[in-house]
Chains A and B, each alone.
Chain A
Amino acid sequence: MTPDTALRAEGLGTRYGGRSRPWALRDCTFALPAGRVCALVGPNGAGKSTLLALAAGLLRPTAGTIEAPERERLAYVAQDKPLYPRLTVADTLRMGRELNPGRWDEATAERVIADELDPGSLVRELSGGQRTRLVLALALGKRPELLLLDEPMADLDPLARHQLMGLLMADAAEHGTTVVMSSHILTELEGACDHLLLLQNGRIRLDGSVDDLLSGHALLTGPAGGAGLTAHTVVDSRTTGRQLTALIRREGPVEGPWEITDPTLEDLLLAHLRTPEGARS
């Protein structure tokens, strides 16, 4: 793997159980540049958790390969945020220090804890937001090159979400950490991510830098039957009365009777999810 790629998959596929079982993930090929903050999005059951577990080395692929940093240089936080309920906050951090000899960064871990957690509190007494904070302290204290977070912001109130996202971004700014975060709610991640992986039914539907994806697409509004659409790849189009709205992948300058607007990330996502796989190219 080249030093500027943090995570790479080639023809990656997984199914749980024998040949009769459906693929949880299939034919996934992508390369995530180092230093990116990647949103891994898709409907429930799209394969997001499977992909993260494969990247973390917790699952073996049924087909293809995935290349990620070795175990010591990555951190993975599962959806259920596993912690020992009977340990205190201080004990949990000591465990992080002892499990990561030579890598542990006490200052980073303490900055995540800040004044928000009492070192003497038991883990089982913590709120959802506090548990997430502690789990992130463990993950970031390890100084990972690649940080894999499965639905990290679920069950957090808006303030805790904003604070923890701020902490993550600060770490990415300071250490250049590559981050992959999954969610089925895009707005949770919008603004924080500069890279997008969209999964649907175990396959990759969109993959690339957010800027490239946005500038590569356009939202067109105009008369139904208007000329010039065929020059582009129409991802999704809808007709209301005489008006047509289409999201296209640009294949050159847009010509014809169209009003052009820049799509939002959400426009892009919804358009791709509405269109069944295979109908796009």
Chain B
Amino acid sequence: MLAYRIDRRSGVATYLQIVQQTKQALRMGLLEPGDRLPTAREVVEATAINPNTVLKAYRELEREGLVEARRGLGTFVRATLGTGPADSPLRGELADWARRARTEGLERDDVAALFTSVLNEFFENEHHDTEHHKGDA
């Protein structure tokens, strides 16, 4: 079962932290179709946040087609995200690449900068700019 970790100092809205952590778990293959998300009660008992915040996050995930609420049963995963499990070939290749970068003397920050620049080249910067904003009128 997924355990959410809420960082009150992060500046990211609490419901978005739940959305992002759920997506991360989907990407890593920690959650698979058919799995049940923790109930609102379970989440708030562990995190001491407001129940409506959890429901808002689950509604957002449902709107994106990632989960579905089944009345009286709970909220279940419908789809996966990204390339799937943590041991996929792509991850293996990336690990090889990281190993090579380290042997060539790159520091952690150098690697992160390099990775981000390639990321920005191939993917639109969809998440980071839009998600954090709560809609400036």
Contact = CB atoms under 8 A, between A and B. Distances in A.
A174 B54 CA distance: 13
A194 B134 contact: no
A174 B45 CA distance: 11
Interface in A45-83: none
B49 A191 contact: yes
B66 to A, nearest CB: 22
Contacts of A194: 50, 52-53
Given A173-B41, A191-B14, A250-B137, A166 B48 contact: yes
Contacts of B135: 215
Nearest to B45: A170
What's the interface size class on B, roughly? 20 to 34
A258 B50 CA distance: 33
Contact of B41 (A174, A214, A253): A174
A169 interface: yes
Contacts of B134: 214-215, 262
A193 B49 CA distance: 8
Contact of B50 (A163, A191, A262): A191
Interface in B39-75: 39-41, 44-54
A166 B137 CA distance: 34
A154 interface: no
Interface in A65-124: none
B45 to A, nearest CB: 4
B50 A193 contact: yes
B38 to A, nearest CB: 11
B8 interface: yes
Contacts of A190: 8
A192 interface: yes
Contacts of B44: 166, 169-170, 172-173
Interface of A: 37, 162-163, 165-167, 169-170, 172-174, 190-194, 214-215, 218, 250, 252-254, 260, 262
B30 interface: no
B87 interface: no
The 5 closest A-B pairs by CB, nearest first: A169-B44, A173-B51, A165-B48, A170-B45, A166-B48
A166 B41 contact: no
A167 B44 CA distance: 8
A167 B50 contact: no
Contacts of A191: 6, 8, 14, 48-50, 53
Contacts of B52: 194
B14 A169 contact: no
A198 to B, nearest CB: 18
A197 to B, nearest CB: 15
Given A163-B48, A191-B50, 15 more contacts: A169-B44, A170-B45, A173-B40, A173-B41, A173-B44, A174-B41, A190-B8, A191-B6, A191-B8, A192-B50, A193-B50, A215-B135, A218-B136, A250-B137, A254-B136
> Which of B6, B41, B134 has most chain A Cβ within 10 Å?
B41
Nearest to A210: B50
A179 B97 CA distance: 54
A179 to B, nearest CB: 10
A166 B47 contact: yes
A192 B49 contact: yes
Nearest to A161: B48
A250 B134 CA distance: 14
A167 B45 contact: yes
Contact of B137 (A167, A170, A173, A253): A253
